[in-house]
Amino acid sequence: MKFYQLKAVFPIKQYKIFLEVWEIKFTLIVYHGLMNQRNNLGDLDLNENLINKMKPAPILVVGDVMVDEYVVGEVERISPESPVPVLLAKDRHRRLGGAGNVVRNVVSMGGNVALFATIGGDAAGEWFKKHCGEIGVDTFWLKTERSRPTTIKTRIVARNQQIVRIDEEYVGQIASEIEKKVLDDIRSVTPQVKAVIVSDYGKGFLSDLILNNLFAMAHSEGVPSLVDPKGFDFTRYRGATYVTPNIREASLASGVEIKNANTLEKAGRILLEQTQSEGVVVTRGKDGITLITRNKIQDFPVKPVEIVDVTGAGDTVIATLALAVASGLSIEEAAQMANLAASLVVARFGAASVTLEEMLNSLRNWPLGRKIIARDEVERTIRNHRLQGQSIVFTNGCFDLFHVGHLELLRKASTFGDVLIVAVNSDKSVQKIKGDQRPIVCEKDRLELVSALNFVDHVVVFDENTPYSLIKEIKPDILVKGEDWKGKRVIGEDIVNERGGRVQFVELVSGVSTSSIIEKIVTKNSG
């Protein structure tokens, strides 16, 4: 898909990312007390056919973008200066936030994005722009407004629990000259898209002038517009096709405290009048989604998972809804898709995204063994983790006669970043390095053993003597080796250092090795 602007062509790159995922097992929650005219998920069949209907449609995303920063570490003591925890920081990483997280979700599901937003003339803005390029999002329409610094939300995290969040932001309407340029650009792109997403975080980019013109343009082109709202006044979204508040937002904007099915319906009817939209999609957390239109109310229960972090779940919902309706699915079918996508991302830490392949895999109930990836799957697997702003840890070995030393190396390696990738020497490679009598355990079994560890994310086999070409392809942030490599040239350290990463050495378990185990076996048998 190409978007055209001022006689020039600006391609929006399309990525289809396929990632194997863990099976998610859960039980159905039945939402009680619903009115008789309501339908539930049982009336519609969520299956692979719906997911396969999703197309790489062009989506216009407009809203407040920001940088989500995570400082991750451990808390082991209280400060002697005041009764506050002391975090020993071990890692720091950034992700696209706000409307940027919506963009990540659209891209990860195969959509094309035209992003309209402003960033500041600062380092955070430059990072945002660069990262958009890395995931295939054209930044032509991204405006730099130096009077408005880029919003940064820094989350201090210990053991997957946020301790505190620090916000750096400026809230205020954009300059009139920027506003005019944005409207001109939107006018040129709207005829080329299949859906519009408005991601409002209340920072001031979405002025009434921009919203009014955007909805009018979308309507005239027959393009559905979806709004993730903010604030108390939903009349500013008048003209949108669908509005997607959560329970709290719906309560505040309607003035109705939502306690049950009746109050939910009442609030939805008020919001329909305020927005003059075709439907209000209320996200209700563990109770799923409720669609309220003038003709009916429909509930879509969700299958619950163990929730790790709900950050950004609303972004996933609206991205899925938009891509689904842009692909020709009904709003009811889109709501089912959004439920499934949200159930996957809340099981992960931080604002996450999901792929269509992951959604398919969750329906197919593929097992943990799918962590073993083929060499040609490495690039797309890594790309998806980069989309989520995750740090990549890499280590390698033969892992022949798997022992406690191997276990400890991999366990410690997993603590250095978000995703641990383990490269395992093939049988052919082991023979070259160790001799014709090795390996003792065949390649297939060694891969299965390593992939069975819950702290290992992906396992890949390589035939070469060294994993250098694999490291060059993966470009990990942290390269892990045993401490016996200290002072020696580590294969791939040049690639890691060039990216600003590091080589991390791990203390070995004394007296344990595959060779020593073989010697003991031989000695006992000979005796």
Number of alpha carbons in the 13 Å side-chain half-sphere of residue 312: 34
pLDDT band at 53 (very low <50, low <70, confident <90, very high): confident
What is the share, in percent, of the chain residues with pLDDT greater than 70?
86
CA-wise closest residue to 389 among 12, 19, 63, 70: 70
pLDDT given at position 527 = 60
Q: Choosing from 185, 200, 299, 315, which is the catalytic residue?
A: 315
What is the share, in percent, of the chain residues with pLDDT greater than 90?
50
pLDDT given at position 474 = 92
Mean pLDDT of 240-260: 95
Window from 45-49, 143-147, 315-319 with minimum mean pLDDT = 45-49
Mean pLDDT of 106-129: 94
Mean pLDDT of 353-378: 72
How many CB atoms sit inside 10 A of residue 101's CB? 28
* CA distance linking residue 318 with residue 288, whole number of Å: 14
pLDDT given at position 264 = 95
**DSSP assignment letter at 410:** H
99, 113 Cβ separation under 8 angstroms: no
* CA distance linking residue 359 with residue 21, whole number of Å: 9
pLDDT given at position 312 = 64
For the ranges 289-293, 308-312, 339-343, the maximum mean pLDDT occurs at: 289-293
pLDDT given at position 90 = 82
Establish whether the linkage from the previous residue to 439 is cis, with ω within 30° of 0. Answer: yes
pLDDT given at position 304 = 59
How many CB atoms sit inside 10 A of residue 91's CB? 16
DSSP-assigned letters across all residues of 299-359: EE-------S--TTHHHHHHHHHHHHHHTT--HHHHHHHHHHHHHHHTTSSSS----HHHH
Comparison of pLDDT for 47 and 265, the residue scoring more:
265
Mean pLDDT of 336-357: 75
Instruction: Indicate the class that CATH gives domain 17-364.
Output: alpha beta
3-state SS record for 18-83? CCCCCCCCCCCCCCCCCCCCCECHHHCCCCHHHHHCCCCCEEEEEECEEEEEEEEEEEEEECCCCC
Residue type, 63: G
* CA distance linking residue 341 with residue 323, whole number of Å: 12
pLDDT given at position 402 = 86
Answer yes or no: is pLDDT of 33 > 70: no
How many CB atoms sit inside 10 A of residue 183's CB? 18
Mean pLDDT of 20-29: 25
Mean pLDDT of 339-343: 83
Answer yes or no: is pLDDT of 202 > 90: yes
152, 122 Cβ separation under 8 angstroms: no
pLDDT band at 166 (very low <50, low <70, confident <90, very high): very high
Residue type, 418: D
Say how far residue 527 (Cα) sits from the centre of its chain: 58
* Domain chopping of the chain, boundaries: 17-364, 391-526
pLDDT band at 380 (very low <50, low <70, confident <90, very high): confident
Structure tokens belonging to residue 478: 């942290």
Mean pLDDT of 486-498: 90
225, 241 Cβ separation under 8 angstroms: yes
What is the pairing mode between strands 161-168 and 195-199? unpaired
Mean pLDDT of 87-103: 90
At residue 310, what are phi and psi to the nearest 5 degrees?
-95, 0
Q: How do residues 440-463 score in pLDDT, each as one tens digit?
A: 889 888 898 898 887 888 999 999
Comparison of pLDDT for 482 and 454, the residue scoring more:
482
SS3 122: coil
User: Which CATH superfamily, name and number, covers 391-526?
Assistant: HUPs (3.40.50.620)
Using only C-alpha atoms, what is the Rg of the chain? 25
pLDDT band at 311 (very low <50, low <70, confident <90, very high): low
* CA triple 37-244-133, angle to 5 deg: 145
Answer yes or no: is pLDDT of 359 > 60: yes
315 in active site: yes
SS3 84: coil
pLDDT given at position 285 = 81
